[in-house]
Structure 1
Amino acid sequence: MLRLATELAAPIPRAKRAPGKQSDAKVSQASQVAREAKATTSPASPVAKPAPPAQKTHAALAVAPEAARIDKRVDVTPRESAESGFRRAMSLVNQGRMAEGMDELKAALAADSGYELARQTLVALLLEAKRTSEAAGLLQEGLAINPANIAYAMLLARIHVERGDPHGALALLQKSEASAHGNAEYHAFVAAIYQRLGRHSEAVERYQRALRLSAGVGAWWVGLGISQEALSRPQDATESFHRARGTGSLSPELIAYVERRLKQLR
């Protein structure tokens, strides 16, 4: 088409006139053909003129990049967006840019509220920054999404205890009871709250459940001994304090406390 248009646009070279009638006839015949060709390409003809080649070329070039951009577009899932935000957040936190890192974690949760790694990390950073109310709000949101998350329930219960609300902490933990059957730390935490409330029989039962699952935690043996002593069970308390000392896991403060209790119980 480009070649044909160029040829039509170019001037038609004149034929050399040769002497004689035959030449005149050929010229006359050529003129007649030219007139017919002109008539078929006149404005009255129903055949549309082809678009200028340059315009067609530019149109094709204008469309091609747009099509390429559409073809290369890739959909990103909410989880992928959250994971990308989490990586940026960790990079910022590692540089000491805590505020920016926390903003990225919030953006990650806005993209995918069920992304627990971002929520756990943000809660930890908020607690470290003493922004307890914000941390509690995030934990409540997390429990609304996943009520079976024992870690969220225990953290939120600990905040209640620190605020002087052990009853609220206990009520919260009891809602998670069904999901915490084999969780030793959960039972020990519930036992400690019962002990703080003066409900020592329930505290003993919970400490015993925790120690059946993990017998090497000395602090839980100490807690058991305290509640047994409060229930006037000195022999049981003495045994529990000895077991606590035998774990080798007590802090210096707890070792000193156990020694004092054992002297009192002799």
Structure 2
Amino acid sequence: MSVINQMLKDLDKRSEPHQLQQVPAAVAISASKSSGLPWRWLILLSLLLVAIALMLWSLKASDSERTIASGPQGSAQQAAENMATAGAAPVKMEPASNALESHRQESPVQASNVPGPANASRGTESGVSREPVSESGSTTQNATEDGESETLTEPTTASAAGEVIAPALSVKTLSEPPVTGSSSAALNTNTPAPGSMAVTEVVLTPAEQAERAMVKANAARDAGKLDEAMRQYAMALSYEPARHEARRQLAALHYGQGQAGEAIKLLQRGLAEFPEQSSIALLLGRLWREQGDKQQALAALQSIGDSDTLARDKWLLVADIAREQEDYALAETAYQKLLSSGMEKAQWWLGLAYAQDAQGKLSDARYHYQRALSTAGLSADARAYIENRLTQLGDSQ
């Protein structure tokens, strides 16, 4: 029994740590040296286990990302909504072991919603991507150009303040197909929105374009820009050939610049196309007379009838041409037409008397000389000539 008691006492002494203080220094140092080797092995083994755990955790995280990326549209949206809901409020920092354990527990749940390889292509089109952020979780939807809506979910991850901020999850979902048929036609209207500016093309008629050209031509003529005026008058004629005023103005400008031939050609084309236009015939007759071609002038004036408004101007021109040609018969006819128009002038009575006197119609000439003297408007020289001629005719009787 004494031996057993002695062994128990020895064991009690060894188990008490304060007994080491009573051991000599050499004995204590040797004990610490001998016990250092197992502790080093334990530290190395712990580090190895931590490295293995980190590797396993990274593998699990990569598998979870692949699972979310290959999942269908509905699973991605559900995962984004769950993560957004979970990350809506800040969460206090938990120990690393608890966070790792919770992450390992959530990963199988997300993977369980992933369909098989048949939906892999559709999951790829959903466009799931992760981006790390440092702000609190939020969900954003953006519309893309091809009619798709993009949902951005930003869960929380761990921040410096102790809050948990998860990586951002970007989910791109397909919107409903555009409406076709009658509904799309109803949406596509030409009514501009209030406050918007609509550009409407205005197509002018040939008459309106000719009028605009006439306005420009008249302005250029008044400003002395004759070349521009001629160009605008010609443009007005091209838009509307019946714009006779433009033809007359253009012919006058040609004649004023010494281009009488161009003016005559222009008027001849107009008279051939519009023979009822007496103004063109009268202007053409005057131009032919200025050029010395009396027969062409008389031929042009023949298209003007006696009932025309320009008949008086026609017969005045015919009388002048006949007197220049000493065609007294034609002159007598012209003055008779003038006097029958309802207007009497002393010069016309004198012209008729002179034409009859030249033809030997003395009695008719004496009568018309007297009518000329009785009509006002004669000059002193004309009166002296008539009186002298009446004296001669009286003596000849």
Query: How far has the Cα of 1:117 moved from its partner?
Result: 1.4
Query: How far has the Cα of 1:227 moved from its partner?
Result: 0.8
In the alignment, is the contact (CA less than 8 A) between 1:217 and 1:247 conserved in 2? yes
Write the distance in 2 (CA, Å) between the matches of 1:137 and 1:120.
12
Deviation readout 1:42-72 (Å, 9 max, x if unpaired): 4689xxxxxx73467xxx9xxx9xxx55xx1
Query: How far has the Cα of 1:116 moved from its partner?
Result: 0.7
In the alignment, is the contact (CA less than 8 A) between 2:328 and 2:355 conserved in 1? yes
Write the distance in 2 (CA, Å) between the matches of 1:221 and 1:55.
95
Deviation readout 1:61-92 (Å, 9 max, x if unpaired): xxx9xxx55xx122222221111111011112
Query: What letter corresponds to residue 153 of structure 1 in structure 2?
Result: A
Matched, 1:53 2:144: yes
Find the counterpart in structure 1 of residue 389 from structure 2.
Answer: 264
Query: How far has the Cα of 1:204 moved from its partner?
Result: 1.6
Aligned residues: percent identity? 27
Find the counterpart in structure 1 of residue 317 from structure 2.
Answer: 189
Write the distance in 1 (CA, Å) between the matches of 2:124 and 2:371.
111
Map 1:23-172 onto structure 2 (within 5 A): 32-33=112-113, 35=115, 39=120, 41-42=122-123, 53-54=144-145, 69=199, 72-172=200-300
SS for the counterpart of 1:41 is helix
Report the TM-score, using the length of structure 1 for normalisation: 0.69
Q: Higher strand fraction: Structure 1 or Structure 2?
A: 2
Instruction: Give the RMSD, CA atoms, in angstroms.
Output: 4.0
Query: What letter corresponds to residue 298 of structure 2 in structure 1?
Result: L
In the alignment, is the contact (CA less than 8 A) between 2:328 and 2:359 conserved in 1? yes
The number of equivalent residue pairs is: 233
Cα 1:79–1:188 change in 2 (3 A) is same
In the alignment, is the contact (CA less than 8 A) between 1:184 and 1:214 conserved in 2? no
Write the distance in 1 (CA, Å) between the matches of 2:376 and 2:258.
33
Write the distance in 2 (CA, Å) between the matches of 1:180 and 1:53.
83
Cα 1:226–1:42 change in 2 (3 A) is farther
SS for the counterpart of 2:340 is helix
Write the distance in 2 (CA, Å) between the matches of 1:228 and 1:180.
22
In the alignment, is the contact (CA less than 8 A) between 1:241 and 1:258 conserved in 2? no
Cα 1:219–1:149 change in 2 (3 A) is farther
Cα 1:76–1:160 change in 2 (3 A) is same
- Residue ranges of structure 1 left out of the alignment (5+ in a row): 1-6, 18-23, 46-51
Map 1:7-18 onto structure 2 (within 5 A): 12-14=81-83, 16=86
Write the distance in 2 (CA, Å) between the matches of 1:249 and 1:142.
39
Question: 2:349 pairs with 221, 234, 242, which one?
Answer: 221
- Residue ranges of structure 2 left out of the alignment (5+ in a row): 1-75, 88-103, 127-142, 148-187, 193-197, 392-397
Q: Higher helix fraction: Structure 1 or Structure 2?
A: 1
Runs of 4+ in 1 over 4 A off after TM superposition: 10-13, 24-36, 241-250
Q: Which has the larger radius of gyration?
A: 2
In the alignment, is the contact (CA less than 8 A) between 2:373 and 2:386 conserved in 1? no
Write the distance in 1 (CA, Å) between the matches of 2:112 and 2:385.
131
Query: What letter corresponds to residue 237 of structure 2 in structure 1?
Result: L
Query: What letter corresponds to residue 236 of structure 1 in structure 2?
Result: D
Query: What letter corresponds to residue 202 of structure 1 in structure 2?
Result: L
Query: How far has the Cα of 1:110 moved from its partner?
Result: 2.4
Write the distance in 1 (CA, Å) between the matches of 2:221 and 2:357.
47
Write the distance in 2 (CA, Å) between the matches of 1:97 and 1:44.
71
Query: How far has the Cα of 1:40 moved from its partner?
Result: 7.8
Find the counterpart in structure 2 of residue 49 from structure 1.
Answer: none
Write the distance in 1 (CA, Å) between the matches of 2:344 and 2:375.
6
Write the distance in 2 (CA, Å) between the matches of 1:95 and 1:44.
72
Cα 1:247–1:12 change in 2 (3 A) is farther
